[in-house]
């Protein structure tokens, strides 16, 4: 292992796909490139502090897991910290810490990402270690057994001990039934308990290769610096030539049992809550406008205290104490549009749902006023400027977009797409996306309740 900086010239070594895709005004100047072995590179320069965020994103998530092996993607993420040929178990993070950095990793449906935040002059060392564990991980039975216990504890903390999380898990299971997203990212308990070193090894060999990964570096570096270091540390890794298999998203968005609420009554619940998830069509680049309209719709409905839902349900009708909405279409398969509400004391879920449905009907039949549309768009677009304050946020935004096939240009174009949304687009998005039969509704309550209207 060497961490010596080799001054190599980018253009000679790389498939030079340098894209200068900065927006002329507020946008960040994001640069991209690709190594010969397929490793894609995204660099987001930010010279305010002498630190960098180094991330390696793999195009594999829980939705790519083999049947019956739920949780392996996340489990495997944990094992990436537990020893390689040259780094003993537990030493990865300790080395990062000793160099004054922090590290962690996360898993979602469509991706797994590993990152370190550290002084710029340690970037080469981070790449050296990250490259080492891409192909030289050691998977030992004994460590697998301990880490499985850690993950079961994690599941207990995040899900099993929290009624609200249990309900969300069940709702998503129903919403995405028949597709890969029906399985929770952390996995089903009974399946996690059976995961073993063979499962982990198979998973590793299948997915962990440079041509299935994207390197994102945000912070006090230029593309040339990153390219030279990346060539040194990642350049010799062998590509697998096996991109992940295409999954099948649902095209018929109807959800079985949409008219029956999922009720979770649990004595541990003190504060009842209501939520509804709508299944969105798979994101397609040919219909960007509709998805941008969905973002504006969510902002108009559920954006903070000026949102329609808050103004109507909380301020005017006093049926709810809190309410909100968001749209998440940035997924490989079906996205979600979510509305949630905390009912006011003594208010029945059915009454709350009726009032929310009325607001949705209004959005589907009438166009919103110009001032409301302008406010929502401004809020969404200014979020990008605020996001630029954090190099870690920027790395997350461009990295997660790359995982679903969106380039930095696509991400930056989002601002113009939002800007182009009309009141009619918003109304059409409400018609297309907020169909009750595409949804599931959940009731979280402390009392016994027998089924009910969603």
Partner 1 sequence: MFGYRLLLSLCLFVMVSVTAYAAPPVQSVKWRDMEAWLVTDNSLPLITMKLAWRGGTASDPVDKTGLSMLMARLMNEGAGDLPAQAFQQAMADNAISLSFSASRDEMTGTLRCLSRYRAVCYKLLRLAVTTPRFDAEAVTRMKREQATAILRNQQNPRSIANQALMKLAFDAHAYGRVGNGTQDSLAAITQSDLRQHYQAMLARDNLHLAVVGDIGRAELRRVMRDVFSTLPAHNKMPQIAPAKIANGPQTRHIDRAGPQTSVVFAQQGLGHHHPLFFADFVMNSILGGSGFSSRLTEQVREARGLAYGVYSFTSNFQKAALWNGSVASDNTTAQEAVNVIRAEMRRMADEPVSAPRLATAKTYLTGNYALRFDSGAKIAGQLLGVQLNGWPISYFKTRNQNINAVTQADVQRAAKLLSPHRLLVVSVGGTSITLD
Stretch 275-304 residues interacting with partner 1 (CB under 8 A): 283, 288, 291-292, 294-295, 303-304
Q: Which of 14, 57, 30 is nearest to 410 (CA)?
A: 30
Tell whether residue 179 is a contact of partner 1 (CB under 8 A). Answer: no
Q: Among 130, 147, 333, 425, which residue interacts with partner 1 (rule: CB under 8 A)?
A: 147
> CA 264, CA 104: separation in Å to the nearest integer?
33
Query: Minimal distance in Å, beta carbon 453 to partner 1?
Result: 23
72: its two tokens: 């392996």
Tell whether residue 346 is a contact of partner 1 (CB under 8 A). Answer: no
Residue with tokens 């607001």: 359
Query: Contacts with partner 1 in 109-128 (CB under 8 A)?
Result: 109, 117-119
Nearer to partner 1, 156 or 365 (CB): 156
Residue with tokens 């979600």: 336
Catalytic residue among 40, 65, 77, 132: 77
DSSP label at 15? B
DSSP label at 137? B
Q: Give φ, ψ of 73 to 5 degrees.
A: -60, -45
Is 77 a catalytic site residue? yes
Residue with tokens 């509804």: 276
> CA 324, CA 341: separation in Å to the nearest integer?
7
Query: Contacts with partner 1 in 415-454 (CB under 8 A)?
Result: 417
Q: Among 18, 197, 406, 423, which residue interacts with partner 1 (rule: CB under 8 A)?
A: 406
Q: Is the dihedral of CA 237, 240, 241, 247 positive or negative?
A: negative
Tell whether residue 312 is a contact of partner 1 (CB under 8 A). Answer: no
Nearer to partner 1, 232 or 396 (CB): 396
Q: Among 14, 137, 185, 347, which residue interacts with partner 1 (rule: CB under 8 A)?
A: 185
Tell whether residue 142 is a contact of partner 1 (CB under 8 A). Answer: no
Nearer to partner 1, 400 or 439 (CB): 400
436: its two tokens: 């009750």
Tell whether residue 49 is a contact of partner 1 (CB under 8 A). Answer: yes
Does residue 190 contact residue 218 with C-beta atoms inside 8 Å?
A: no
Tell whether residue 94 is a contact of partner 1 (CB under 8 A). Answer: yes
| Whole-number Cα distances in Å, 307 to 316, 372, 449 | 12, 9, 30
Tell whether residue 271 is a contact of partner 1 (CB under 8 A). Answer: yes
Query: Contacts with partner 1 in 322-341 (CB under 8 A)?
Result: 322, 326-330
Query: Minimal distance in Å, beta carbon 102 to partner 1?
Result: 6
């Amino acid at each position: 292992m060497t961490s010596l900086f080799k001054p190599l010239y980018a253009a000679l070594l790389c498939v030079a796909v340098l894209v200068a895709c900065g927006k002329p005004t507020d946008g960040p100047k994001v640069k991209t490139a690709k190594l010969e072995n397929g490793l894609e590179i995204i660099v987001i320069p930010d010279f305010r502090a002498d630190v960098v965020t180094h991330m390696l994103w793999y195009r594999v998530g829980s939705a790519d897991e083999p049947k019956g092996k739920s949780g392996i993607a996340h489990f495997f993420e944990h094992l990436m910290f537990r020893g390689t040929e040259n780094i003993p178990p537990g030493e990865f993070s300790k080395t990062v810490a000793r160099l004054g950095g922090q590290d962690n990793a996360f898993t979602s449906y469509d991706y797994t990402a590993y990152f370190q935040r550290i002084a710029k002059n340690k970037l080469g060392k981070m790449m050296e270690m990250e490259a080492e564990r891409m192909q030289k991980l050691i998977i030992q039975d004994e460590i697998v057994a301990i880490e499985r216990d850690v993950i079961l504890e994690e599941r207990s903390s995040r899900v099993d001990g929290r009624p609200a999380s249990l309900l969300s898990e069940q709702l998503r299971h129903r919403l995405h039934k028949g597709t890969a997203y029906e399985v929770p990212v952390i996995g089903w308990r009974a399946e996690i308990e059976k995961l073993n070193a063979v499962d982990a090894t198979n998973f590793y060999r299948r997915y962990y290769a440079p041509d299935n990964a994207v390197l994102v570096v945000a912070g006090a570096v230029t593309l040339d610096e990153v390219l030279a270091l990346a060539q040194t540390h990642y350049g010799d890794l062998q590509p697998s030539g096996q991109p992940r298999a295409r999954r099948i998203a649902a095209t018929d968005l109807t959800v079985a049992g949409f008219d029956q609420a999922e009720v979770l009554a649990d004595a541990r619940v003190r504060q009842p809550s209501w939520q509804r998830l709508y299944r969105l069509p798979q994101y397609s680049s040919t219909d960007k406008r509709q998805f941008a309209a969905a973002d504006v719709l969510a902002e108009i409905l559920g954006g903070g205290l000026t949102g329609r839902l808050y103004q109507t349900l909380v301020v005017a009708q006093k049926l709810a104490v809190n309410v909100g909405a968001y749209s998440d279409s940035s997924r490989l398969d079906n996205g979600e549009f979510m509305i949630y509400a905390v009912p006011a004391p003594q208010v029945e879920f059915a009454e709350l749902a009726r009032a929310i449905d009325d607001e949705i009907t209004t959005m589907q039949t009438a166009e919103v006023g110009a001032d409301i549309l302008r406010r929502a768009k401004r809020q969404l677009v200014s979020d990008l400027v605020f996001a630029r304050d954090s190099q870690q946020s920027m790395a997350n935004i461009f990295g997660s977009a790359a995982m679903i096939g969106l380039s930095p240009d696509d991400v930056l174009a989002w601002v113009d797409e939002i800007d182009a949304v009309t009141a009619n687009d918003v109304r059409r998005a409400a018609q297309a996306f907020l169909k009750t039969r595409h949804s599931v509704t959940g009731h979280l309550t402390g009392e016994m309740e027998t089924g009910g209207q969603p």
